Amino acid sequence: MADVLPNTVYISGCSHSHYWYLDRNLANSWTANLGFNTVYNHGLCGSSNDFTARRAWMFCEKYRPELAIVQWTNLTRTETLGADAPTDQVECYANILADPKENTSNKKVYHLIPEKPFTKKPWEETQQSPFFYKSTFYGPWNNDANSKAFVQIYDFTTYFCNLIKNAYLLQNYFKAIGQNYIFVNGTDWFHTSDLKMPDDYGHWYALDFLDMVADGPIKTVKPIADQIDRTRWLRSNIMETQIDKGTDDSHPGIKSHKIFANNIITELEKLNVSDRK
């Protein structure tokens, strides 16, 4: 039986749900400004949509927060489980709770910290361990040959279908266990600035995009996409609220995070999901 966590929000996402570029203060993240007394922020920089979805169902298997928020990331990241990747463009993470003393907010905020798995237990000495997992950065911005070869094989349609499958799976799992949830968007879905695409595709809404596609292999995912509850996949995208930048001069800054939090609260009120102020 899962432990019920009242007045608690759980967030799984990538760096857009993190805080290191916000004066390294969790209180500045949108995740800590949704009106909940307790926040479990399991956003990890570099997370793929696979890794993000899996962290969410792992947490909600044991705990039942008042609300779970899944923030989808760009499409070109992937997850490996129990196996090494053919490139050094990787980030390795284990689910380790950070010391709550690091939190400078007046709320109870818990987050994850990156940790090399092989520093922990003997059976984790190798990345081939079945207990090892990581998200891997792949995309046109990578320079090593292995990454470029992988990107050529792992095309846009594959990426996109993977996002839809993750959303469909997680939606149905949450409904099956009675977990209240919403999906939100973060980052440029396909790093379109690197691809030099015409127009601004970085903020597009995945389900609307699929509606516009007339034909092709990407349409094979439409029967699944049509089963996704669009009311729970908010159109809120943190990149659209970017009016300032963080200390890394890339991610949205403190003001942008506050606006994004307010947008989510407004959407929650429309859904009668939460009365947070």
φ, ψ (nearest 5 deg) of residue 191: 50, 55
Contact 72, 52 (CB under 8 A): yes
Domain total of the chain: 1
Reduce the DSSP state of residue 113 to 3 states and report it.
Answer: strand
CATH classification at residue 40:
3.40.50.1110
**pLDDT given at position 30:** 96
Establish if 32 belongs to a structural domain.
Answer: yes
- The alpha carbon torsion through 53, 58, 64, 68 (nearest 10 deg) reads -20
**pLDDT given at position 76:** 76
CA distances in angstroms from 161 to 12, 94, 223, listed in the order given: 20, 26, 11
Run of H or E including 162: helix 156-177
Contact 236, 260 (CB under 8 A): yes
Q: Rounded to two decimals, what is the model's pTM?
A: 0.82
Contact 65, 40 (CB under 8 A): yes
pLDDT digit of tens for each residue in the chain (277 aa)?
888 999 999 999 988 998 889 998 888 999 999 999 999 998 888 788 998 998 899 889 989 999 999 999 888 777 766 544 444 433 333 333 334 444 444 456 666 654 444 444 444 444 444 555 566 666 656 666 666 666 666 677 888 899 999 999 999 999 999 999 999 988 766 655 555 555 555 566 888 878 877 788 889 999 999 999 999 999 888 888 789 999 999 899 999 999 999 999 999 998 877 655 5
Q: Which domain holds residue 170?
A: 3-271
Establish if 159 belongs to a structural domain.
Answer: yes
Residue type, 144: D
**pLDDT given at position 206:** 84
Q: Are strands 90-92 and 133-137 parallel, antiparallel or unpaired?
A: antiparallel
Establish if 277 belongs to a structural domain.
Answer: no
Establish if 276 belongs to a structural domain.
Answer: no
φ, ψ (nearest 5 deg) of residue 158: -65, -45
State the CB neighbour count (10 A cutoff) for residue 131: 12
Establish if 144 belongs to a structural domain.
Answer: yes
Nearest to 69 by CA among 36, 100, 102: 36
Establish if 27 belongs to a structural domain.
Answer: yes
